[in-house]
Structure 1
Amino acid sequence: MVSTRVALLLGAAIVTVGTASLADYCTVDYATSVLPIQDLGLGITIDTSSVSASLTTNRSVSSEWYAASVIDYCDVTFAYSHNGLNNDTVHVSYLVPTPESFSNRYVSTGGGGLAINSGAFYSPTGIIVGAVSGITDGGFGNFNTQYNAAFLLAEGTVNWQATYMFGYQAHHELAMLGKQFTRNFFNVSDSDKVYSYYQGCSEGGREGWSQIQRFVDQFDGLVTGAPAFRFSQLQTNHLSGGVIEGALGYYPPPCELEKIVNLTIAACDGLDGKVDGVVARSDLCKLHFDYKSTIGEPYYCAASSRGGGPGGLHRRQFPGSGPTPEQNGTITAEGVAVASAFTNGLIDSSGKRIYLNPQPGSTFADAITKYNTDTSSWEPSIPGLGGEWIARYLNLEDKSNIDSLTNVTADTLRDWMALGMQKYEDSLQTTWPDISAFKEAGGKVILVHGEADSSIPAASSVHYYESVRNAMYGDLAYDESVIAMDEFYRLYIVPGGAHCGSNPNQRAGGWPATTLQTVIEWAEEGVEPDMLANEGEIEALCKWPLRPLWSGDGENFDCVSDEASRESWIYTFDAFKVPVY
């Protein structure tokens, strides 16, 4: 419990903050005096001895998610525990802006991969918009500890507390504590509104939706990027490349797949009416481009000591990739077969669809092979995210990957997906489609997804949007249902965009940098974002289901409705006997 002295200070010390400087109130004593000790219904106890406060001034920050800025802030960190649990400690950190820049706002920011926070990657955006900006460690040990380190209590035994914290609970507590802490710190009266926002991408995008689906009035607005919806399908599907290659009996050199990507980009670039190095209509590419046209084209890649594939793949995703020899050859029919089957997505032995894969023009990241120096041949490189999902989260082994893909088929992947879907339906799947209560509470959400995302396919976000539209407005005509969705939920596909950022293979695509400001204007001023400002050659992004098209030799830009193109984004996962939203 908080001491009597601290409770008294809560009513006295906070009245001075409006006239104080940042240095005056960035102290442990002041931070302790304004802890969110009010009963928020969370069942927690704050450790008042854990408080720290550190001042940062003139820090230069930059990101594709916000404009380059110089910021001042006070970083206040404290810990709390859940009542009734032993050895339970959760750390939260709140960056507090200067009094003169505070705009009655709070912002939570999310993580990525298996991390529940991204540290300072997103959090400066809160300071930029005049908000207190919070992150959590989920109770996993510290801000640098990821969920996989806390998942198992022992082999065979799930740490369900950590799982529910990662799934949704930690971010709920972070936001509830953060909003009250913001009120206390700046002495905001109960009659004045503190607007609450969220921003995150990938796992951070999923974390945002975990809140929308459960705590409907927690945030006034959210920016979610490339959300990790359908956690079991998504993670298992990272193994699809190697399984498809095994079924076809061909493991293409990475350079062959990279050449196919480059030729696809060149061929499909102008389908939007403008040649600018960006595939802005991957749907038209899917409908009209044939990978077979690349057969016989030469490729060359120098030997590399880094290994990996196109774009320099992350070590966490491909921990086994090593040095690669010089690659010199021509695109084969076998390589094209792999590219075609991979783009089409997983199909089971009965011809039913299991899942989807990235759009044409994306890298074949999950199909990248590694070189075996002993056999002088290419073999599957098992992606770490997919392999760990099976080993740790389904088999409950303390391992970061499976040993091989031997005897693993598309049907195996389907069954693994179904197992994880059932096991983690209420924690990690994050696919509940009826978000009517969020809409009725006045919430606004903007979802952005890179069209060339090779980690979480852009069509994944389309599938969830369509699931929500059908669940909430399935009785309306299509155009009417989209208008209804536009009141609170808008999806923007970023032409050429990669996973949560711009694409080195399609540099002119850019990335929207002021989306949080856009959702703030929508929530606070009712300014509806018909298009979304972008930093690339295409300066504004079309909201789904409209797609970009240039006319007049690339002089005039418009957002158009194209039913055939729209349908190319739509999938039915009929390999499962239950709905997959």
Structure 2
Amino acid sequence: MVRKHALISAIVGLSTSTGVLARSYNGQAACTAAAISQPSLFGAEIQSLTVEEVRNRTVPSNGNAFPSNLTVSYCGVNISYTHTGWNDLINVEVWLPLDTWNGRFQGTGGGGWQMSSGAPALASAVDEGYSAARTDGGHPDATASVASASNWALLSPGNINFPLLQDFAAVALSDMAILGKSITKSYYGQKPEYSYWTGCSTGGRQGMMLAQRYPDLYDGILAKAPAINWDSFVVTEYWPQLVMNTLGAYPPPCEIEAFTQAAVAACDELDGLKDGVISDANACAFDPYSIVGKSFSCNGTDESIFTREGAAVVEAAWVGPVDASGKKEWYGLNKDASLAGIANTVVAAANFSARGAPFAISAEYIKYFLTRDPALDLRNITGEDFFRLLQHSRNQFSSIIGTADPDLSLFKSHGGKIITWHGLADELIFPNGTEDYYKRVMAQVADVQDFYRIFEAPGVGHCSGGAGPQPRDDLKALVEWVENGVAPDTLPVVNTTLNGAEPGPGEELPRRKICAWPKKQRYNGGDPLVADSFDCV
């Protein structure tokens, strides 16, 4: 049942626990627009505030990130506002548990060009007792182009919409925290005891941007597979496509996948256990050219031969962009990562001709932000063009959206904590870029492991998926660190299936642990289904 209350519109002047316990608050307001104070936001005008009480709403699952249907009851508050002179309109949604608040606030992140992960992220937070918020950053996710920047990137031909880019990159994230915590205080009669951020991919980048630029807004940040180094990695995602175009060859997806499987077969047991996972990616020296001329099968039937062109494309994806002088400009993917994202090809139904299929975010970034030409045929980009565009991206956009500032000293002095985990089989964001950033933080800030730890998850894809066991209870580990001072040396990971199938009655899923960098997971010879059979070395 939903009871919707009156709309209030106003222009506002410019101004400036340890356990998870469900409890009532003496100052808790009614879930009505009249009872909740309108927030103020410096530099912005509140356009509207609506309130509705929602009971027993079932929110469907959303893939591996939010795998369960949840039924939640909450007070929903929606705020629309604009930054004076920016001509934007941003919507923030806050969900407040009706009677199970744990005293904490949670900001939730998005993915791709999306600023939020929608209702599943809010429901997951509310189900755990958090008040939670999300933002659309000024491009509402009710549109069909939610995963695209094409409807907002350019103000006019050749002119980037810098206000909305700033909103997407950073500004709307700060706004959401300020508004979300203000609404939380107004409803419960007291401010949150602790504030946490959770997100993966773009959501991970958002978390790191908050730590870098707004260090006092969150006590704990869970930044998974973060899309940091944006100005470098998004351009790099196009590199295998450029190699295809240069060669005039477009290997079929089954050949590319066969190269990946050959690499896994060659390097799987380097950790002492045959499990379809490459645990030590840096130790895998498999050369794709070593199997050129050998046969493989597509779909288990048609036999084909590994080609030199296929090996060149795979090598490009694994090594990353190397310029004419031999300088390596960014990283590549690990050898057990699927290459279907950045080295994909398709065959035209009309004439059966093959062509490259670039990853959409990379293609849009090059078209709309780097060249400002939506009609650009990416196949005409030369190697010289590529490295010029990469440098242009770094020059113009690193300060806006690069999210790679290693100076986290203010976040550290605030007492904040960060946990990052990154799947080593991530198919879209290069894990070595995350490690590179961490090393730069270590060079800038003393005693980094006292407040910031990264974990590498063997066999895990982008945010989820892959052959490896999936991280679990990462937010609980962060809360324990922030509120009780217990720093995590490992994070639990759990297989999603048992020998490829759902577990039966009484059967438990295999469990392992991943290690705080620089340590790596190493099999010690015990039962591979038990976490104690793996050490951190």
Please give the range of the TM-score, normalised by the shorter of the 2 chains: 0.7 to 0.9
Q: Distance in 2 between matches of 1:60 and 1:18?
A: 26
- 2:462 is aligned with 1:499: yes
Question: What residue in structure 1 maps to residue 328 of structure 2?
Answer: 353
1:243-258 paired onto structure 2 within 5 Å: 243-248=242-247, 250-258=249-257
1:225-277 C-alpha deviation (Å, 9 max, x unpaired): 11111222222112101222344454322111111111222222211111122
Question: What residue in structure 1 maps to residue 380 of structure 2?
Answer: 406
Q: What amino acid maps onto 1:378 in structure 2?
A: A
Q: SS in structure 2 opposite 1:123?
A: helix
Q: SS in structure 1 opposite 2:121?
A: coil
Q: SS in structure 1 opposite 2:105?
A: strand
Q: What amino acid maps onto 2:452 in structure 1?
A: Y
Q: Distance in 2 between matches of 1:344 and 1:129?
A: 42
**Unmatched 5+ residue regions in structure 1?**
7-15, 304-325, 474-483, 561-581
Q: What amino acid maps onto 1:558 in structure 2?
A: D
Question: What residue in structure 1 maps to residue 295 of structure 2?
Answer: 298
Q: What amino acid maps onto 2:413 in structure 1?
A: E
Shift of the 393–98 alpha-carbon distance from structure 1 to 2, 3 Å rule, reads same
Q: What amino acid maps onto 1:419 in structure 2?
A: H
Shift of the 32–330 alpha-carbon distance from structure 1 to 2, 3 Å rule, reads farther
Q: What amino acid maps onto 1:184 in structure 2?
A: S
Contact 1:273 1:550 in 2 (8 A): yes
Q: Distance in 2 between matches of 1:352 and 1:173?
A: 40
Contact 2:455 2:516 in 1 (8 A): yes
- 2:392 is aligned with 1:383: no
My pick for the range that moved more, 345-354 or 57-66, is 57-66
- 2:390 is aligned with 1:431: no
Contact 2:44 2:84 in 1 (8 A): no
Question: What residue in structure 2 maps to residue 338 of structure 1?
Answer: 313
Question: What residue in structure 2 maps to residue 270 of structure 1?
Answer: 269
Shift of the 425–291 alpha-carbon distance from structure 1 to 2, 3 Å rule, reads closer
- 2:244 is aligned with 1:235: no
1:164 to 151, 162, 166: 166
Q: Distance in 1 between matches of 2:413 and 2:534?
A: 34
- 2:337 is aligned with 1:362: yes
Contact 1:167 1:207 in 2 (8 A): yes
Q: What amino acid maps onto 1:258 in structure 2?
A: E
- 2:530 is aligned with 1:558: no
Question: What residue in structure 1 maps to residue 189 of structure 2?
Answer: 187
1:522-537 paired onto structure 2 within 5 Å: 522-536=481-495, 537=510
Q: Distance in 2 between matches of 1:139 and 1:148?
A: 13
Q: Distance in 2 between matches of 1:270 and 1:278?
A: 8
Question: What residue in structure 2 maps to residue 487 of structure 1?
Answer: 450
2:304 to 299, 306, 329: 329
CA RMSD in angstroms comes to 2.9
Q: Distance in 2 between matches of 1:44 and 1:238?
A: 36
Question: What residue in structure 2 maps to residue 81 of structure 1?
Answer: 81
Percent of counterpart pairs with the same letter?
29
1:289 to 281, 286, 311: 286
Shift of the 32–90 alpha-carbon distance from structure 1 to 2, 3 Å rule, reads farther
Q: Distance in 1 between matches of 2:142 and 2:34?
A: 20
TM-score by length of 1: 0.79
1:372-393 C-alpha deviation (Å, 9 max, x unpaired): 4566543322332222111111
Shift of the 148–247 alpha-carbon distance from structure 1 to 2, 3 Å rule, reads closer
Q: Hey, which bits of structure 1, 4+ residues long, moved more than 6 A?
A: 1-4
Q: Distance in 1 between matches of 2:252 and 2:66?
A: 37
Per-residue deviation at 1:216? 0.7
**Unmatched 5+ residue regions in structure 2?**
1-6, 13-22, 496-509
1:6-45 paired onto structure 2 within 5 Å: 18=25, 25-26=30-31, 30-37=32-39, 39=40, 42-45=42-45
Contact 1:273 1:554 in 2 (8 A): no
Q: What amino acid maps onto 1:300 in structure 2?
A: S
Q: What amino acid maps onto 1:47 in structure 2?
A: Q
Per-residue deviation at 1:125? 2.8
Contact 1:106 1:131 in 2 (8 A): yes
Q: What amino acid maps onto 1:557 in structure 2?
A: F
Q: Distance in 2 between matches of 1:67 and 1:252?
A: 34
Shift of the 538–266 alpha-carbon distance from structure 1 to 2, 3 Å rule, reads farther
Q: What amino acid maps onto 1:355 in structure 2?
A: W
Shift of the 102–278 alpha-carbon distance from structure 1 to 2, 3 Å rule, reads same
Q: What amino acid maps onto 2:436 in structure 1?
A: H
Question: What residue in structure 1 maps to residue 220 of structure 2?
Answer: 221
2:370 to 394, 399, 402: 394
Per-residue deviation at 1:531? 0.3
- 2:413 is aligned with 1:440: yes
Shift of the 267–467 alpha-carbon distance from structure 1 to 2, 3 Å rule, reads same
Q: What amino acid maps onto 1:228 in structure 2?
A: A
Q: What amino acid maps onto 1:445 in structure 2?
A: I
Contact 1:199 1:222 in 2 (8 A): yes
1:551-574 C-alpha deviation (Å, 9 max, x unpaired): 3366632111xxxxxxxxxxxxxx
1:153-208 C-alpha deviation (Å, 9 max, x unpaired): 111122221111111010100011111111111112x6xx5211111111111111
Q: What amino acid maps onto 1:210 in structure 2?
A: M
My pick for the range that moved more, 164-173 or 147-156, is 147-156
Contact 2:72 2:127 in 1 (8 A): no
Q: Distance in 2 between matches of 1:17 and 1:32?
A: 20
Q: Distance in 2 between matches of 1:493 and 1:382?
A: 27
